[in-house]
Copies of this chain bind each other. A is one copy, B any other.
Amino acid sequence: MESPDKPDKVDIPKKAIYRLSIYFRCLQKLIANGVSTVSSTTLARAAGVKPAQLRKDLAYFGQFGTRGLGYPVDVLATMIRETLGREHLQPVILVGAGNLGSALLRYHGFEKEGFEVVAAFDANPESTRARGVTIPVYPDSDLETFVATHSVKLAILCVPVEFAQAVVNRLVAAGIQGVLNFSPIMLEVTPDVTVNNVDLALELEHLSYFIR
């Protein structure tokens, strides 16, 4: 179960990585407000976590704070940006421009956070062209060539569940390293590829348990 090839950034809890993104957002807000120093207590409250957890999370990556004072906002923001690999604009492709896929294409929430959805692919590209989608939609046979020539590493997968595994296999073969999967299925990929599942119906169902 080891990955001897990957010089693993080990020992860092996966959940801490998620929280890093949250901290980053809070820091951007602080920067916008001209705040230059922040204590773990303040930043933790903004992020919705406990101060000790914030300090521990940051400590995984080095020492950034000044005792008695707090953290310099800019240093922390830079550290997180570098850690998350967000120094440069990341190109992303979207595969499957059906209901949800084309919905996400019209929604430009990814762009706002520094990701560029550079192209979409669909078995039937014409069907979406009409409906107000401005990002180019190509036939899905062009996928491999595009990924290779544009060295895209991230893909958003919105194809119907029955095609999801087949499509992800093609994506992985083409060189995609991270997949944001909206299909309700556990995709099987090689260990060097990361899959993140977003299952909207499942989230609702989960809520359903907690209401009485």
- List chain B residues, Cβ under 8 A from A95: none
**Would you call A106 and B113 a contact (CB within 8 A)?**
no
A207 interface contact, C-beta 8 A? yes
8 A-B Cβ contacts within 8 A? A92-B204, A109-B200, A113-B201, A115-B201, A115-B204, A154-B207, A180-B200, A198-B198
Residues of A within 8 A of B (CB): 17-18, 20-22, 24-25, 47-48, 83-86, 90, 92, 99-100, 103-104, 106-110, 112-113, 115, 131-132, 153-154, 156, 177-180, 184, 186, 194, 196, 198, 200-212
With A25-B184, A180-B204, A198-B200 as given contacts, are A209 and B17 in contact (CB-CB < 8 Å)?
Answer: yes
Pick the contact of A110: B24, B103, B179, B200 (CB < 8 A). Answer: B200
> Which of the residues B86, B115, B178 comes within 8 Å of A210, measured between beta carbons?
B178
Cβ-defined contact, B209 with A84, below 8 A: yes
Complex contacts, A22 vs chain B, CB 8 Å: 186, 202
Q: How far is the CA of A15 from the CA of B103 in the complex (A)?
A: 29
Determine whether the beta carbon of A209 is less than 8 Å from that of B83. yes
- By beta carbon, the residue of chain B nearest A158 is B107
Cβ-defined contact, A198 with B204, below 8 A: no
Picked from B90, B107, B205, the residue with its CB within 8 Å of the CB of A103 is B107
Q: In the bound complex, do residue A202 and residue B99 qualify as a contact, i.e. CB atoms below 8 Å apart?
A: no
- With a cutoff of 8 Å between Cβ atoms, the chain B residues found around residue A209 in the complex are 17, 20, 83-85
Which of these, B100, B154, B184, B212, contacts A204 with CB under 8 Å?
B154
Report B-chain residues with C-beta under 8 Å of the C-beta of A200.
Answer: 104, 109-110, 180, 198
B90 touches A100 (CB 8 A): no
Residues of B within 8 A of A17 (CB): 206, 209
Q: Are B110 and A99 in contact (CB under 8 A)?
A: no
Q: Is the CB of A109 within 8 A of B201?
A: yes
Docked CA distance A30–B112 (Å) = 42
Quick check: A18 and B208 within 8 Å, CB to CB? no
- A45 CA to B18 CA, complexed, in Å: 27
Known: A153-B211, A178-B211, A211-B85. A18 touches B109 (CB 8 A): no
